[in-house]
Structure formats: C-alpha cells, structure tokens
Amino acid sequence: EAAVTQSPRNKVTVTGGNVTLSCRQTNSHNYMYWYRQDTGHGLRLIHYSYGAGNLQIGDVPDGYKATRTTQEDFFLLLELASPSQTSLYFCASSDAGGRAEQFFGPGTRLTVL
C-alpha cells in the first residue's frame, strides 16, 4: 500500500489558471517536501514543512505557495500558473529531515498552456 500519494496524477491548465496539487502520507513522518523535476536541473526543492501549520521556503519558491493542514496532508498552490511551471512535481516525506531517507510519491505531471 503506497505510503505517499499525490493527486491529480496529470493536470492541464492555462496561463493564469489556479492549480492545487495534493499530497498525503501515511508514514507518520514529520517532514514533507515538494519538488519539481526538470531535465538539466534535477530535483529542486520548492517548499517543505516539519509539521502541521509549519512552512519552510525551499530553493525555487517563486510562484508557489504551500500549506500543511495536518501531519498527513501537504498542498502546493499555483495561483497564477505560467508555462515555466510546466513540470513533473514530486512530494516526499521523511522522519528526520536531511539525515534520513525520503519517500517519494508517484508524481504529478502539470502542463500549463
């Protein structure tokens, strides 16, 4: 049974559109992360959180908001989507920050037209 799930798996929107990507983990982990994956750039951290209500800014946060509503749920919000945000988005969870294994979800492919 998958411990990190993401929805939707695929999303197409238009420039200026509003998009919410969802992530749920059942690992009972404190840390959750949002990454984008792009050829030539690898995995880049957008935002992360170490508990409900907590939010930390990652390395490429511009144009993204995030919210951690519970220990299980972490959302990524694109309020005015742009074509540069077309990417494959991964959510991950971990029980000990940068010292422990991160468990990744299946990814969401977002296309902004």
Partner 1 sequence: GDSVTQKEGLVTLTEGLPVMLNCTYQTIYSNAFLFWYVHYLNESPRLLLKSSTDNKRTEHQGFHATLHKSSSSFHLQKSSAQLSDSALYYCALGSSGNKLIFGIGTLLSVKP
Beta-carbon contacts of 40 under 8 Å, excluding residues fewer than 6 positions away, are none
Token pair listed for 36: 């984008």
Per CB under 8 A, the list member of 7, 41, 79, 113 interacting with partner 1 is 41
Would you give the binding string for partner 1 spanning residues 59-88, x where CB under 8 A is met? ------------------------------
Query: Which part of the chain contacts partner 1 (CB under 8 A), choosing from 15-23, 63-71, 77-85, 97-105?
Result: 97-105
Of 82, 83, 106, 113, the residue at the interface with partner 1 (CB under 8 A) is 106
- Measured in Å, how far apart are the chain's first and last C-alpha atoms? 34
Rounded CA-CA distance 11/99 in Å is 33
User: Considering only residues 105, 108, 110, 112, which one is a binding residue for partner 1 as defined by CB under 8 A?
Assistant: 105
